[in-house]
Amino acid sequence: MAYTALEQMQRINRALYGQSAGPMQPAEHYDAAGHGLKETALRFLHSRCEGLGFDAERERAEAEDGTLRGTSLLPGQIPYNMQMDVNRLCMERELEKFIDSGVAEDAYTVYYCYLEMFFGHYGKSKKMVELLSEFEANGSSLLMKHRDHYSHSVYVFALGLAIYESNAAYRARFKRFYDFDADEENKAADREAACCFLEFWGLTALFHDIGYPFELPFEQVLSYFEVGGTERGAGSVYLAYRDMDALITLGAEARERFAALYGRSFNTTEELFAHGITERLGKRYGFTEEYMLGKIHDKPIAPNTFGYFMDHAYFSAARLYHEIEASLGVDRITQKHVDALTAILLHNSLFKFAVSFYKDKEKHKEPLRMETHPLAFMLMLCDELQCWDRTAYGRNSRTELHPMAAEFDFANNAVHAVYFYDREEQEKIDAFRAEYRSWENGGKNGKAPRLKAYSDMAEKEQRFTGDIEKIVDTTDIPLTVVPSTRAADRKSKHTYLSASNFLHLYDFAVALNARYAYQGGEKNVKAETLEKNFEELSLEYQLSNINQAKSFSRFLDALGCFYTDRPVDYEMLTAFSPEQMAVIAPMEHERWVREHISMAWQHGDLYETAELPAETLRRCGDERTARKALREQLRTHWLAMDGNPEESEIFAHFEALPEAEKGKDSEPFNSMLKLVKKFDGLRIYQLD
């Protein structure tokens, strides 16, 4: 079984309450034998990562004293390992939603899952995650060239999972590199290695571009001059960073930790990274630690020595190091964390222009092999492959031709990619083809015509795959790329009029969670109290609130309303009327029902009717608390629905509910409006 703790809980429940008792095994919402991106990435999470986060010591303690250590709606309701299984299911479902939609709000919940599962606290890291999206959305339009890096990073994450799942050579190299048994018949070692890959690949992929807020101001200054056609170079006005000690200095405790790990001391992250990179790559590529330290050190302070480009990868690695130290603690940092950080530092330009010199015919060295630095290899490969469905912010980027979608086939240890361009741009494509043929027939004089990025995939030179093969060794992961066109599906992302600063989503969810508890007392409650209440929930229930917050724009659209954090000349909505609630309530019920089906809940009321064991009553203290805990252990709810009901069936199900049940959200929703207004700055307006 893929979710073994859920299976164990089911066996216990069926022994106590009969064969119909849950929890059920989560369904696979995709072709389990397919080779596409979604199928392969989700299969990795569903089947290869069994036991993710399990704690044998907590399991033994639960068996000895009967006290459950897992959290569901409340602490102590379920076994700890069952909570870990549900957390993994949350990650599987949120990644599935993101791959289907590609929207930033769904990328957000993938980040959220990762941080809760591996850092233990989203709130500490939310600024790091959310500011990247805000910087890009608000500052990148001033640049000549810039495209999304927020959703991009989650696509990169998914690609890496798919390649690990589908490519036996990479799995074997990763396992040997990190001292796992590479024999795939050793299922325990295979699961352990997969869980290790998920943790450290997630760290590498999801945060490899968080340094862009440092690069964007640099590019904005140069764009001011480039808009007139001036090339960057000698004579350009550019930014450089000073007083870097605040970002790179290691404290005494960190110095001790790394001395224990590496047998020598480091004073800065620059020294640590230079050593980590040289240890992995130095011998093969013929450079010294002193050389690498010089290159790293000059990145922020002397961009003129790098072609007048600022390297966001430097800041991503430096910034992420401090996040790891603050969230995990110095004593939990390992060499694998340093490998993730050096992979990030290498991925943008350091490896290409200071190690392999991939565009220099005389100095060019071999591409990076899987076994040399598995995380850096995977990041550079996936970062290049992920060029589709990226919002264009820069002035030139908005007019260029980029792929809007892609389809992958990871069968037979290879990667076959079809990149789709908007069929409405066929005129541009035809013009490029005619110009390219003319260039060929004319003896290929001068530079070949370009239509970025289509030409890189369509021309005979195959610049796209050729560049990738110069960067990473694809011998054991053959790559083929085909460009194509199709009609754009502009409604697939479900964009509504409501808009706010992206930082509001977490706070909106916190207020939604509090809507029952503080009715009438909104003026007196503190934001810290609301957030503490929210953090006590399990990941599943936190995500339920976040996903409800994400759905709110759809609810308001149905009412002819919208929310924004900006002042607008429309009538403000301070409370929902009964008529408006009659529209929202069945829509929210549908969301809730589909969420519970996705998370493998089933319909039933066994938790209300079953005879409770004396031990359960003793442990819980009273019958009401015990029945709530049993509901979470059975993953059964009387309001849930089974199967795959149509919208009309769910709405009919809602209409059949008792009036008290249908109307109970009216006042809590209005309480939520007051809390959001107080703590989040959002306002809701009516169009007429």
Distance CA 577, CA 169 (A): 61
CB 39 within 8 A of CB 63: no
Per-residue pLDDT tens over the stretch 11-63: 999 999 988 899 999 988 778 789 999 999 999 999 999 999 999 999 999 99
Per the CB < 8 A criterion, the answer to whether 314 and 331 are in contact is no
Residue 166 maps to a domain: yes
Q: Which of 429, 451, 486 is the last residue of a domain?
A: 486
Tell me the percentage of the chain whose pLDDT exceeds 90. Answer: 58
Average pLDDT of the segment spanning 491-511: 66
pLDDT at 502: 47
Segment of 108-112, 115-119, 190-194, 241-245 carrying the highest mean pLDDT: 190-194
Establish if 66 belongs to a structural domain: no
Average pLDDT over residues 236-244: 91
pLDDT at 396: 45
Is residue 355 located within the same domain as residue 273?
yes
Q: What is the pLDDT of residue 137?
A: 54
| pLDDT of 455 above 60 | yes
pLDDT tens by residue, 654-681? 999 988 887 765 666 776 677 666 655 6
Mark whether 460 and 500 lie in a shared domain.
Answer: no
Full residue range of the structural domain in which residue 528 is found: 496-601+640-688
| Structure tokens, 328 | 């995990």
502 within 8 A of 568, measured Cβ to Cβ: no
Where does the pLDDT of residue 459 fall: very low under 50, low under 70, confident under 90, or very high at 90 and above? confident
394 lies in the same domain as 448: no
Domain assignment of residue 383, yes or no: yes
Asked if 423 and 510 sit in the same domain, the reply is no
Q: In this predicted structure, what is the pLDDT of residue 140?
A: 47
Minimum mean pLDDT range among 86-100, 219-233, 536-550: 219-233
Identify whether the C-beta of residue 153 lies closer than 8 Å to the C-beta of residue 206. yes
Q: Are 417 and 447 contained in the same domain?
A: yes
Write down the pLDDT at residue 144.
42
Q: For residue 234, is pLDDT > 50?
A: yes
Please give the model's pTM, rounded to 2 decimal places: 0.93
Answer whether residue 264 shows pLDDT above 90: yes
Q: How far apart are CA 538 and CA 312, in angstroms?
A: 34
In a domain, 21, yes or no: no
407 pLDDT more than 50: yes
The residue out of 366, 399, 432 marking a domain boundary is 399
Domain membership of residue 510 (yes or no) is: yes
Domain stop point among 364, 399, 434: 399
pLDDT in tens, 537-592: 999 999 998 898 888 888 888 988 888 877 788 888 888 888 888 888 899 899 99
Residue 550 lies inside a defined structural domain of this protein: yes
Write out the H or E segment, with its range, that includes residue 480.
Answer: strand 479-486
Residues 441 and 315 in one domain: no
pLDDT band at 227 (very low <50, low <70, confident <90, very high): low
**Domain contains 635:** no
| Same domain flag for 419 and 392 | no
Percent of the chain with pLDDT over 70: 88
Is it the case that residue 259 has pLDDT exceeding 90? yes
pLDDT-derived band at 139 (thresholds 50, 70, 90) equals: low
Q: Check: CB of residue 447 under 8 Å from CB of residue 510.
A: no
Contact assessment for residue 468 and residue 415, using Cβ atoms and an 8 Å cutoff: no
Measure the CA–CA gap between 189 and 187, rounded to whole angstroms.
Answer: 5
Output the DSSP codes for 18-50: -TT--PPPPP--S-TT--SHHHHHHHIIIIITT
pLDDT of residue 575: 83
User: Which of these, 471, 410, 473, lies nearest to 161 by C-alpha position?
Assistant: 410
- Using only C-alpha atoms, the chain has a radius of gyration, in whole angstroms, of 27
Decide which of 337 and 105 is more confident: 337
H/E run at residue 227: none
Query: What is the chain's mean pLDDT, rounded?
Result: 88
Same domain flag for 528 and 474: no
Mean per-residue pLDDT, 89-96: 97
Same domain, 138 and 201: yes
CB atoms within 10 A of CB 64: 8
Mean pLDDT of the 291-298 span: 98
Greater confidence (275 vs 435) lies with: 275
Query: Is 444 in the same domain as 546?
Result: no
| Chain segment 204-217, per-residue pLDDT in tens | 999 999 888 888 88
Confidence class of residue 119 from pLDDT cuts 50, 70 and 90? confident
Does residue 399 carry a pLDDT above 80?
Answer: no
Residue 6 maps to a domain = no
Q: What is the pLDDT of residue 286?
A: 97
- Asked if 329 and 221 sit in the same domain, the reply is yes
- 542 and 677 assigned to the same domain: yes
For the chain, the domain total comes to 3
**Is the pLDDT score of 189 beyond 90?**
yes
If you average pLDDT over residues 129-135, what whole number do you get? Answer: 59
